[in-house]
Structure 1
Amino acid sequence: MLANTVLALSLLPVSFAHFTLDWPKARGSAENTAGDFPCGGYADVQQQRTDFPISGAPLQLNLGHEQTNIAVYMAVGDNPGSGFSVVMRPQFQVQGLGDFCIGQISVPSGVNVSDGTKASIQVVSNAHANGGLYQCTDVTLRSASLSTSDYDSHCKNGTNIEISQQNISGNPNGTSTEDHSPSGSAGAATPSPTPGAASHVKAASWAMGFIGVAGLALL
């Protein structure tokens, strides 16, 4: 029974060890490119964008590490490439696994946008080795706010998950914070591309170690 349990759990996707951006819908997620800047290797913008209120909306993540550093950046434009220069949420640290909602992510005051402006949002987390992990979503900014029911449907938190530190200097990928913001933006940081095979190997071993313990707990 032990062998069967461990074997079944070992077949779970290794992406469990990282994070996913579940809403707004991410461009895509692949374990072998998760550390590629920008957007985890998904350079092409989505044809179907999500309407995102300028005044703020949640980002729904699923976290696969017990401790995760996160920051949120935005790039304005139809196809902004790697220009994620607007800081929407400075680096903070989360304790816990599973569903995590970053509430009320809004466009900083002073950034020149209006109803219908196209933009891309990038969530960056630490890779628990070298570099960062990246997920992007493409949005159309809107003046209208989300209804309470729509907001709540995209904002869920798992049990025992919480923010442990806020306003941490630097970026989750290990680089320092630098001001590359266009005039009027509320601070900026440009994460550097630091994928590296080592980060994926370490993450994979962590996942398998966690799965092994979980398998024993099920006996």
Structure 2
Amino acid sequence: MTNRLLSLLAITLISMQSIALAHFTMTYPSSRGFDTLKEPLAPCGGYDTLSAQRVQMPLKSSFIQIDSGHTAYTFVVYALLKNDPVNPDFIPSNLVQVAQGGRSYPEGACLPLTFSESVQANTNVTLQVVYNGGDGLLYQCVDALLVDSAPSFDVSKCVNADGSSKETTSENPSEPTTTPNQGSSLQIAYSLTFIVAVCISFLLV
């Protein structure tokens, strides 16, 4: 009976840890880089170097496609209009919000972007996605060049897993509010949970 209870506890802890560490990926256009353990690190999920080549994105009808591990989350997308941005540049006074909302389904989601009329063609921009699934903020960035026409930009990539179009998906006005430090603390807590589960498993051998 004791071994059975320990087995159940180990399985439960591992399952909880897997759910808690659910993340998101930027699937289109591709982000600077992705690492599950670094994703809670602001401003760009641990990838602080400008991409060697910027992706061309249209000023109008532009979007970012993500894949979510959470079934419900909120997000904000910021634009940093600088040619060669570094981490200290990611401050509120420099960031322009171009998208905000929430989703109540997992997997693919198309996040439409709206740039102000003051943003002109051939402007360099770094787009920062701030994602909150309830267990800490996660970050991804993409370096882009905004243009009037971007033939290589694949509009067919804009797909919502719930079947809605990007134009009709309702937005949630609430912003992610968890601080980066909270995200890091939660990450440590989940890692400890996993270690405890592994130790219990060894006791059963």
Tell me, in whole angstroms, the C-alpha distance in 1 between the residues paired with 2:160 and 2:77.
18
How far apart, CA to CA, are the structure 1 residues paired with 2:110 and 2:23?
16
Q: Is the 8 A contact 1:62 1:100 kept in 2?
A: yes
Measured in 2, the distance between the counterparts of 1:67 and 1:124 equals 14
Match of 1:94 in 2: 103
Aligned residues: 174
Q: Point out the structure with max Rg over C-alpha.
A: 2
Evaluate the alpha carbon distance shift between residue 201 and residue 66 of structure 1 in structure 2; reply closer, same or farther with a 3 A threshold.
Answer: farther
Tell whether 2:77 aligns with 1:68: no
The alignment-based identity, stated in percent, is 27
For residues 142-176 of structure 1, the C-alpha deviation after alignment (integer angstroms, 9 at most, x for no partner) is 011558x9312x2122247899863424x3143xx
C-alpha RMSD of matched pairs (Å): 3.5
Return the TM-score normalized by structure 1. Answer: 0.66
Q: Secondary structure at the match of 1:46?
A: coil
Q: Select 1:157's aligned residue among 144, 148, 160.
A: 160
| Structure 2, unaligned runs of 5 or more | 1-10, 195-205
Residue aligning to 1:17: 22
Matched position secondary structure for 1:194: helix
For structure 1, the residue ranges without an aligned partner over 5 or more in a row are 1-5, 175-191, 208-219
Structure 1 residues 74 and 141, CA, compared in 2 at 3 Å: closer, same or farther?
same
Shift of the alpha carbon at 1:57? 1.2
* Deviations, residues 96-121 of structure 1 (Å, cap 9, x unaligned): 11111113x131223xx332211100
Is 1:119 the counterpart of 2:125? The answer is yes
In the alignment, structure 1 residue 172 sits paired with structure 2 residue 193: no
TM score, norm. by length of structure 2: 0.70
Quote how far apart the aligned CAs of 1:63 are. Answer: 0.4
Kindly state the Cα deviation for residue 132 of structure 1 after the two structures are TM-superposed. Answer: 1.0
